[in-house]
Structure 1
């Protein structure tokens, strides 16, 4: 049998890069087979601009439209693992971006509700998700800081932008026993953020500080695009 053509070789290279990434995530401490399987099943190259396609499975963030980024795969895996998503859960994502995190979550839960302030990003994300036949994701244009009260309460909330302080409006939309993962600015340290896991209890909120991260800021309102 003759050698495969350029498309076959490109596909083979992409699969090899994906397998290498999964191994790297395992070495980095990601233990959940469900999370790793979801990352393996979702083609990250479908969520990055063409100019960065060859870097799709490198373990670093990449620029996307509207001055935003698609997060580093390790951070996606880590946040998803710490979220402890179950297959019957309803999850809110604040900051759709490329749609990659929502795609990962959609393989792990019953339904994802995702909010984006940029119409361009939401339009492109919806197109990608439809192409991948991921139909348990509902998106809307809106102010992520306000959450989605009409669909609350949520079992889980994930925020993919850096909040200046703990977003109590979103905490109020968690079920008792629910978990939220959110990057929060470190007081007195500009551009530094701490990834925080909040668990809502009968009497309040339990906080666990996780790892330092760097996300684009959580901005209120709907973006005005030119």
Structure 2
């Protein structure tokens, strides 16, 4: 009796799998990416957060265009910021710049609760829909100006800022809990590139700053 022909994966599918494997290997090679972060990024397929036209691009370590001139930052850039943020399982995390919802998904796997804010209504609504479709229950996506976050949202243990700022907005500084950490790119007197900074609130309530190096803004 003749056997049915054996099914082989398409070349396109094979190429996508190889691209994804290479991306994960590149992230693994970074000295600042721990196993928990690597697993979170692997469990949040980036191609699920873009339109079909950019699905292949999402498998590469590059920024991906989003509406309104925004971009989804490259995986290595996101890994760098989240590694500096050092989220813990019990943390409340505030994200300024929801974008596609991808980074919120990653943060949701590393912390207890994520509030993700975007000033573009469509981006906020689309990100919320994607996360709901994927069954992510511990993320709230809000349409608002993240730099003017309302005190009604309470205090946060970690704040990740995707947009460039000149000085820490007062509303964000006020939203950071004792022992909390804020990471984001700061403009250096109008110069490029920006610098990535990590700010922490100590037990006395003062902010301690550490510059982590140059940063080229992606969105």
TM over 0.5: yes
Aligned residue pair count = 214
* Structure 2: stretches of 5+ with no match in the other structure: none
The aligned counterpart of 1:27 is 29
Larger radius of gyration: 2
Quote the Cα distance in structure 1 between the aligned partners of 2:150 and 2:44.
26
The aligned counterpart of 1:123 is 125
198 and 139 in structure 1: CA distance in 2 versus 1, 3 angstrom threshold: same
Kindly indicate whether the alpha-carbon contact (under 8 Å) linking 1:162 and 1:214 is maintained by their aligned counterparts in 2.
no
Match for residue 46 of structure 1 among 38, 45, 48: 48
Kindly indicate whether the alpha-carbon contact (under 8 Å) linking 2:150 and 2:171 is maintained by their aligned counterparts in 1.
no
51 and 115 in structure 1: CA distance in 2 versus 1, 3 angstrom threshold: same
Deviation at 1:11, TM superposition (A): 4.6
Which has the larger displacement, 143-152 or 155-164?
143-152
Deviation at 1:10, TM superposition (A): 4.6
Quote the Cα distance in structure 1 between the aligned partners of 2:59 and 2:31.
18
* Structure 1: stretches of 5+ with no match in the other structure: 218-226
Backbone CA RMSD of aligned residues:
1.7
160 and 134 in structure 1: CA distance in 2 versus 1, 3 angstrom threshold: same
- Give the structure-1-normalised TM-score: 0.88
Which deviations, in whole Å up to 9, do the C-alpha atoms of 1:174-202 show, x marking residues without a partner? 1110000011101141x431110000111
Match for residue 156 of structure 1 among 143, 158, 183: 158
Quote the Cα distance in structure 2 between the aligned partners of 1:18 and 1:108.
21
The aligned counterpart of 1:99 is 101
Please state if 1:4 is matched with 2:8: yes
Which deviations, in whole Å up to 9, do the C-alpha atoms of 1:94-121 show, x marking residues without a partner? 1101111101000111110011111111
- Give the structure-2-normalised TM-score: 0.91
> Match of 1:107, SS?
helix
